Amino acid sequence: MTGQPPTKDSGRKYGELYSSWVTAREAFWIALEALNSHKLRSFLTLLGVVIATTTLIVVMSVINGMNLYIAEHVANLGVNTFILSQYKWAQGYESWLEARRRNRPIRMDDYRFLEENVQGYKTIGATAEYWGRTAHYGNQVVYDVDLNGVTPSMIDIGQQKVDYGRYISDSDYSHAAPVCFIGTDLVDKFFPNVDPIGKEIRIDEHTFRVIGVAEKIGTTFGQSQDNFAIVPLTAFQKAYFSRAELNVSIQAWSSAQMIPLEDEVRMLMRVRRHLQYNDNDNFGINASQTIMDLWQRLTGTIFAVTIGVVAVFMVVGGIVIMNIMLASVTDRTHEIGIRKSLGARRRDILTQFIIESAVMAGTGGVVGILLALLVNVLVQRFVTSSVPLSAILVGVGLSVMVGLFFGIYPASKAARLDPIEALRAET
């Protein structure tokens, strides 16, 4: 035997499903027809839901776009990389004042100690920065140059990539060679039509020979990231600071190794600096997540305010929809009586009006999404913005939920109507 004859129960369930489908389909088209036949009233009815959905999606898009921008341009320390420096970034003002009294700079001795004792890292490198330098070539001058002294290993960690020429080598580092690797801002100013490799430029009163040019990075918040010169850290110390304050970059093999490696570096630095178990760190360990956590705390406040505004608009929009649905129940009392006299159950009437309410609110959500996409195009001219799929799903889902919630009362009122009294109602 390969089949069983349908039972009465299965036939009844199929009939109920079919009846529910027909009711839902009719309610859907009735709702669309009502929206189409009263366009102005529909627009005013759905205005609250439209504004709420548009506001929600635009704010989520701007925050998402800024998150991506911060992650790419500000918090990009390198793949699986964290930085040991004098201070922990993104801490409160009071904590920073306390750290300022307690923390000590990272020196070359600290870097060498970590290089020799940390186990399992992929790459380790050190940098020292000196902002606001002046570069000269012939009669040309570039101001506010970011001068960096680096170890050769920073080519595997930092943002700078070689466009042509070469980076700082081990030989340059060992011999404190007066060479430099420059950004495109200096190339555009000093060597617009000339190969810069082998040319000598002057940074302050020190002369460096150009050995390579970096790939163009671009701008961050309108500030060029290509106005820099990189020299060997040993040459930097020789020319400027013999005990330069360093940032030590440590790269892990994987994201899973990041936390254990941070703990190992913290433990070694605490031992090296003879800190007791209850002493605070007198150094800072910073990763991309440190910056992203601060940024997300800032945007979290903005998002919380937005949620409050959206909630107000949604409630107002829901109340308006409920009133319209109550008026619709009154206008269609005779129709409800006819349906009940023909066998429609209370559940059928209830379902019909709830679906109509949800379709109305959902239509407002879709209009809000389309409006948000148009606004997003305008917003992108001024700030970065990216519409996440989750914002669209939340917008539609929230508007439909509002329609379902505020449609319950009108639907239950329609379902409770007495069929005889309803048939007596004037059409």
- Quote the CA–CA distance of 112 and 176 in Å, as a whole number: 17
- Give the model confidence (pLDDT) of 162-191 as tens digits: 999 999 999 999 999 999 999 999 999 999
- Quote the CA–CA distance of 341 and 42 in Å, as a whole number: 30
What's the pLDDT band for 236 if we cut at 50, 70, 90?
A: very high
Q: Is 229 helix (H, G, I), strand (E, B) or coil?
A: strand
What's the pLDDT band for 275 if we cut at 50, 70, 90?
A: very high
Burial of 424 (0-12, 13-18, 19+ CB in 10 A): exposed
- Give the model confidence (pLDDT) of 78-102 as tens digits: 678 899 999 887 677 788 888 888 8
- Give the model confidence (pLDDT) of 32-59 as tens digits: 776 677 677 777 777 888 888 888 888 8
What's the pLDDT band for 418 if we cut at 50, 70, 90?
A: confident
- Quote the CA–CA distance of 77 and 288 in Å, as a whole number: 6
Question: What is residue 112's predicted lDDT score, i.e. its pLDDT?
Answer: 94
Question: What is residue 256's predicted lDDT score, i.e. its pLDDT?
Answer: 85
Structure token digits, residue 114: 């970590």
Angle subtended by helix axes 333-341 and 346-379, to nearest 10: 130
Most confident of 12-26, 89-103, 235-249, 394-408: 235-249
Structure token digits, residue 81: 């990389």
Question: What is residue 426's predicted lDDT score, i.e. its pLDDT?
Answer: 60
- Give the model confidence (pLDDT) of 365-374 as tens digits: 888 889 988 9
What's the pLDDT band for 2 if we cut at 50, 70, 90?
A: very low
Distances (CA, A) of 358 to 31, 54, 399, 423: 9, 18, 8, 27
Which of 91-100, 116-125, 277-286 is predicted least confidently? Answer: 91-100
Averaged pLDDT for residues 316-334: 83
Question: What is residue 217's predicted lDDT score, i.e. its pLDDT?
Answer: 85
Q: Do the bridges between strand 206-214 and strand 123-137 make them parallel or antiparallel, or are there none, so unpaired? A: unpaired
CA-based nearest residue to 285, from 313, 305, 260: 260
